[in-house]
Each structure stands twice: as structure tokens, then as C-alpha cells.
Amino acid sequence: MLERLNAAMAHIEQHLDGEIEPADLTKIVVTSEYHLRRLFSSLAGMPLSEYIRRRRMTVAGAEVLAGRDTLLDIAVRYGYGSGEAFARAFRAVHGVGPGEARRVGAALHSQPRMSFRLIVEGSSSMRYQIVARDGFRIVGKMARVPLVHEGVNPAIAAFIRSIGQETLQWIEALSDAEPGGIISASVNLAEGRAEGTELDYYHGVATTGAAPADLDSLDVAAGAWAVFDSSGAFPQALQYLWRDVFTEWFPSNPYQSRPGPELLRVQLSPDATQAEAQLWIPVEPAAAQR
């Protein structure tokens, strides 16, 4: 997988002054576009589209400062139909327009070329199983909340408190499918999963029954799930588990992510500092293994 990702990075470098089609990259990596974008953002810390934009502006910035070609020639070479569009993109990355940068020899930002390599750190093994499930639905309460990578998410904590214990007990009684009991479901996340971007957060249960009229519901398609068990400090251990699934487990196993909600069941210790958790990620066999 890492070799194929590096081949895709080489393809990007060779086509910075031309079209870079996601379909070409997925053929190189031998995976779906959905999984490629998820995997890249987890490994690189930014969306694939943002990396390509920064690399283009890095190379274009060097040409602007060199002064050999007109700004319009450079704009057209890197896929911009007008000098104005190029100037907006240039300023977004470098904080200064291309004309001013050329006149004063401004300091520009550089996005280094990325490559991926395996670092063996002796980390503990991950406990998982692959589970095939028929379709079901998540029934409960839903809110649009910001993404928080580390520490307690205050928006989610406040949302759960607002539901009330009586309503939560009523919702829990509707559970008749795995994962059992109260779970959370995260869906409709931004491509790059940047801190502060929003997602749909469901707090409810998995069920095969119909949703009561006064509850929110999310239909979940049939398919395979990778189910990970974890225990440790709350919420850090859970957040690290999410990270490790995409940065360690996927590159080492013949599966790729597929569209669908990510499910989490958590049992907290009495003082809420420790947690036993189960994370469900929708997966499918990697393209090369089908």
C-alpha cells in the first residue's frame, strides 16, 4: 500500500502543470476514491485536494520569483483560466499576490513533496474482527457538531446532556441489533477531517425497527464492518484508536473504507476517566483483493 501511495505522489509531481484526475490516482493505489481521500487525509493531515493545490502553488511560486515567464503564462500552465483566478489561489497559499511577490521578492510558503514510509515502533497489536451485517438503522437524537481531535468534545457533551436521562432510557429500550445499547454514529464528515469542521452526530441505538416520529433516524446499508476493541483513558484512547485505524491498520490489511457511519459504543468507569470501547468502521475488500 505504501509503495502504491508513493507512486501516486510521483504521479502528482509529474502532472502539477496538467490535469490530475482522482481516477488516475485510484488506479495507481488500487483502491476507491473514497478510501484514497480518507487514507491520505489521515496520513498527511490535510485533504488530498489541498496538498495538490499547495504543491502547485509552491512550484508556481518559484517560477513567479524567477521572473522568466509572464504571470499569465504561469497561470495558464498551472490550470488557471485567468490571472485573477491565479492571483486568488496564489494569495491563499502565500499570503501575497504574484505581482507583489515578483516586485519585492517576497518570502513564500513551500509545501514539501510528500512520501510515505513505515516506521516500526513496537506498538501494541490491534484487536479486531470483520463482521457482515444486514441493513439496519440508527434511531435517536442528531446534532451537527464540530470535530475535536483531542480531549472532550464540549458540543457533544452538551448535546448528550440536553437529551435527558428519561429520553435516553426510552431510546435504549429500542436497541435490538449490534452494536447493542446506546451508541454514537458519526457521518458526513469533511474530506480532510480538520479540527473544527462539522459532522452529523447521532446518539442512539442500532435497530431493525421503525423510528418513532419524534426521533431522528439514519438508514445504514448492509455490508462488512471492521470492529475494534479498545480500553484506556477517556477520551484519549478512543481518539488515538480512530487515528491508528487509518494510519496503521488500513495500510497493513487488505481492506478499504466504504461510505457509511462510524459507530462507537463506550462503557465508562464510575469516575468517567477510563473507558471500554468498540469502534465499528464500514469496510470492503481492497480492490486488489476482489
CB atoms within 10 A of CB 283: 25
Q: With 0.95 as the threshold, say if the pTM is over it.
A: no
Sign of CA dihedral 23, 26, 28, 30: negative
Please report the pLDDT score of residue 143 as a whole number.
Answer: 95
What is the separation of C-alpha 176 from the centre of its chain, rounded to a whole number of angstroms?
29
Q: Where are the alpha helices (DSSP H) in the chain?
A: 2-14, 22-29, 33-44, 48-66, 71-77, 83-94, 98-104, 154-163, 165-172, 236-244, 250-252
Q: Is 188 helix (H, G, I), strand (E, B) or coil?
A: coil
List of residues 6+ apart from 162 with CB closer than 8 A: none
Would you list the domain boundaries of the chain?
2-104, 127-289
In terms of CATH architecture, what is 2-104? Orthogonal Bundle (1.10)
Sign of CA dihedral 284, 184, 147, 231: negative
Tell me how far apart the alpha carbons of residues 65 and 54 are, in angstroms, rounded to a whole number.
16
- The CATH class that applies to domain 127-289 reads alpha beta
Query: Would you report the helix, strand and coil content of the chain in percent, each value rounded to 5?
Result: 40, 25, 35
Q: Provide the terminal-to-terminal Cα distance of the chain, rounded to the nearest Å.
A: 15
Instruction: Report the phi/psi class of residue 26: left, alpha or beta, with left for phi > 0 and alpha for psi in -120 to 50.
Output: alpha
Tell me how far apart the alpha carbons of residues 94 and 54 are, in angstroms, rounded to a whole number.
9
Fold match between domain 2-104 and domain 127-289? no
Please report the pLDDT score of residue 267 as a whole number.
Answer: 87
User: Could you tell me which of 256, 135, 157, 258 has the C-alpha nearest to residue 203?
Assistant: 157
- Residue 179: is the preceding peptide bond cis (ω within 30°)? yes
pLDDT per residue, tens digit, the chain (290 aa), is 778 888 999 999 999 988 888 889 999 988 888 888 888 887 787 888 889 989 999 999 889 988 888 999 999 988 888 888 999 999 988 999 999 989 888 878 888 888 876 554 444 456 788 999 999 999 999 999 988 777 778 999 899 999 999 999 999 999 999 999 999 999 988 776 777 788 999 999 999 999 999 999 999 999 999 999 888 888 777 777 877 888 778 877 788 889 999 999 988 888 878 888 889 999 998 864 44
Q: What is the CB-side half-sphere exposure of residue 277 using CA atoms within 13 A?
A: 26
Greatest CA separation for the chain: 71
- Residue 235: is the preceding peptide bond cis (ω within 30°)? yes
Residue carrying the nine cell digits 440508527: 138
User: Could you tell me which of 3, 288, 52 has the C-alpha nearest to residue 192?
Assistant: 52
Sign of CA dihedral 64, 68, 71, 74: negative
Taking each helix axis from N to C end, the angle separating 2-14 and 33-44, rounded to the nearest 10 degrees, works out to: 90
Q: State the cell numbers at 118.
A: 513505515
Please report the pLDDT score of residue 173 as a whole number.
Answer: 95
Please report the pLDDT score of residue 121 as a whole number.
Answer: 47
Please report the pLDDT score of residue 124 as a whole number.
Answer: 47
Q: State the cell numbers at 184.
A: 454514537
